[in-house]
Amino acid sequence: MNFYDQLQKDTEAERAYLHSAPIIKAVFDGRASRESYIAFLTQAYHHVKHTVPLLMACGSRLPARLEWLREALGEYIEEEMGHQEWILGDIERMGGDADAVRHGTPALPTELMVSYAYHVIDRGNPVGFFGMVNVLEGTSIQLATPAAEIIRKQLGLPDKALTYLNTHGSLDQDHIKFFEKLMNRLDDEADKAAVTHAARVVFTLYGDMFRTLPLPADTQVAS
């Protein structure tokens, strides 16, 4: 089994934890709400604004033996520039306070997820950062595009209010193919282990982030 496929297999439990978040079930059951969507965009802003700085930090820490991976990060950086501004634009079009979001603070799981990524790069194995890439891009493909259509229909929104979800979902279709090729070039077992461990941690923290989002008023959660 190649490493990319092994990575997906080895993180099945943590992925399932994320996908079982009550807000995700509510949305896919057709019970989206404006409050929940703005809350999601708010948390997305607070981690997406770190994407380019994290990519740059990772590139600066990679060893010379992984120069090919550093070059690939340059492509990611170019693609990811300014995505946080898309999110603020969507918040404004939803009637939210984009300025308050820009100057606000994230929920604890969001803050921990970002902090953990910086920690992996600075204090651990920087290749581990690709575990976070695996989580965010994979989740985007599996959830973002179908969720965007459900939210649009449920709330009667124009497409321009879903720029981030729509555009990110389609972009990440290409990104994940690129990512798969990169992961399958890794030949060091310590690098692979670092990616797998980081993916497990980030799946869990990202799942916790979704669990901070408010549920639609008619949603009941079993105790």
CATH number of 192's domain: 1.20.910.10
Q: Considering the domain boundaries, does residue 40 fall inside one?
A: yes
Q: How far apart are the first and last CA of the chain?
A: 40
Structural domain of residue 102, as residue ranges?
26-211
Q: Considering the domain boundaries, does residue 20 fall inside one?
A: no
Give, for all 223 residues of the chain, the pLDDT tens digit. Answer: 999 999 999 999 999 999 999 999 999 998 989 999 999 999 999 999 999 999 999 999 999 999 999 999 998 898 888 899 999 999 999 999 999 999 999 999 999 999 999 999 999 999 999 999 999 988 888 888 888 889 988 898 888 888 888 876 555 566 788 899 999 999 999 999 999 999 999 999 999 999 999 998 755 444 3
Q: Considering the domain boundaries, does residue 94 fall inside one?
A: yes
> What does pTM read for this prediction?
0.92
Q: Considering the domain boundaries, does residue 124 fall inside one?
A: yes
Query: What total number of domains does the chain contain?
Result: 1
The amino acid at 195? V
* DSSP calls for 106-156: --HHHHHHHHHHHHHHHHS-GGGHHHHHHHHHHHIIIIIHHHHHHHHHHHT
Q: Considering the domain boundaries, does residue 13 fall inside one?
A: no
The CA distance from 166 to 150, in Å, is 12
Record the tokens describing residue 10, joined without a space.
Answer: 């080895």
